[in-house]
């Protein structure tokens, strides 16, 4: 089933993300964790794609297994910034051959080395996917606090609208830790005429060492109560894990209570975290 059809059903949805490891020796372990998460019956699952296609075959293999063996619809990521058009078309052919109908179209992080310049923006990739096969359902990324490379929030919204105009069916946000930032972003997007579903991306922080990396990746502002949680429980592994799951669950509950219907959780391949959140909101998302 197309993800956009699931998002348009009018009900609350909870979905999860997993990411293949670039090392083949870890593939089986990641695949097994992905299947564990799939058995929680999320609305759908997304499977990431390494820079330059570094995990492209793993992305396809895990996506296919989740979809065929666990019966969960899959959103396969595809990045373009360091890819050639030939590589992109090769991946689109692979997705088709393996029954994958949903694609998360991303520019990807700019590499430090010289790479092909067939694509500069995700909107170019989205347009190409739609031209290749209009039946693909395409998701795109958005940034509640603005893309780190945008000059300002207005420029960020301008380029976001270009993604939608190119054929993006829905958007998923980068992680955020303060819901008020998301509400402000949602208002600005709707004011600009962006009407596609916007899925709120939530990352549970369950280990102290995740904090710095998560903030660097997302550029997110972090409320003082988040730092208080990490300061108090960060050196106690079990307590930090529980606190992080609760913090993310509270974010999700607040979002749903304020009319946000679609939540996507960045699980970091951790079935326990996915299950903890699912248990905390099981009656809320019915």
Active site amino acids: 17
Question: What is the rounded distance in angstroms from the CA atom of residue 88 to the CA atom of residue 93?
Answer: 9
Residue 210 near residue 273 (C-beta atoms within 8 A): no
What are the angstrom distances between the C-alpha of 171 and each of 106, 164, 257?
11, 9, 20
- Phi and psi based region of residue 99 (left: phi greater than 0; alpha: psi -120 to 50; beta: remaining): left
Q: How would DSSP label each residue in 197-260?
A: -EEEEE----STTHHHHHHHHH-----HHHHHHHHHHTT-HHHHHHHHHHHHHHHHHHHHHTT-
Pairing verdict, β 74-79 and 137-142: unpaired
Provide the residue count of the chain: 286
- The phi-psi region of residue 142 (left if phi > 0; otherwise alpha if psi is between -120 and 50; otherwise beta) is beta
Rg of the Cα atoms in the chain: 18
End-to-end CA distance of the chain: 20
Helix, coil or strand: residue 12: coil
Burial 178-198 (b: 16+ CB within 10 A, else e): bbebbbebbebbeeeebebbb
Question: What number of other Cβ atoms are within 10 A of residue 135's Cβ?
Answer: 9
């Amino acid at each position: 089933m197309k993800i956009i059809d699931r998002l348009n059903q009018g009900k609350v949805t909870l979905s999860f993300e997993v990411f293949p490891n670039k090392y083949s020796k870890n593939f089986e372990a990641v695949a097994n964790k992905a299947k564990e998460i799939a058995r929680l019956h999320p609305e759908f699952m997304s499977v990431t794609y390494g820079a330059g296609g570094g995990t492209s075959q793993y992305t396809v293999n895990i996506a296919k297994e989740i979809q065929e063996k666990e019966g969960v619809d899959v959103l396969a990521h595809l990045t373009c910034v360091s890819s050639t058009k030939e590589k992109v078309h090769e991946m689109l052919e692979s997705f088709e051959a393996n029954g994958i109908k949903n694609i998360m179209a991303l520019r990807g992080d700019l590499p430090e080395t010289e790479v092909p310049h067939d694509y500069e923006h995700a909107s170019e990739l989205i347009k190409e996917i739609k031209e290749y096969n209009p039946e693909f359902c395409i998701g795109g990324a958005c940034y509640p606090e603005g893309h780190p490379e945008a000059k300002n929030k207005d420029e960020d919204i301008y380029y976001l609208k270009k993604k939608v105009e190119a054929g993006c069916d829905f958007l998923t946000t980068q992680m955020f830790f303060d819901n008020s930032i998301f509400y402000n972003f949602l208002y600005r997007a709707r004011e600009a005429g962006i009407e596609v579903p916007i899925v709120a991306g939530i990352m549970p922080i369950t280990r102290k060492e995740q904090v710095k990396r998560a903030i660097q990746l997302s550029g997110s502002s972090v409320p003082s109560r988040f730092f208080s949680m990490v300061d108090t429980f960060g050196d106690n592994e079990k307590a930090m894990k529980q606190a992080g799951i609760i913090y993310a669950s509270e974010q999700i509950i607040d979002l749903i209570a304020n009319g946000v219907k679609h939540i996507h959780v960045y699980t970091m391949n951790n079935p326990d975290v996915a299950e903890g959140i699912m248990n905390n909101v099981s009656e809320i998302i019915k």
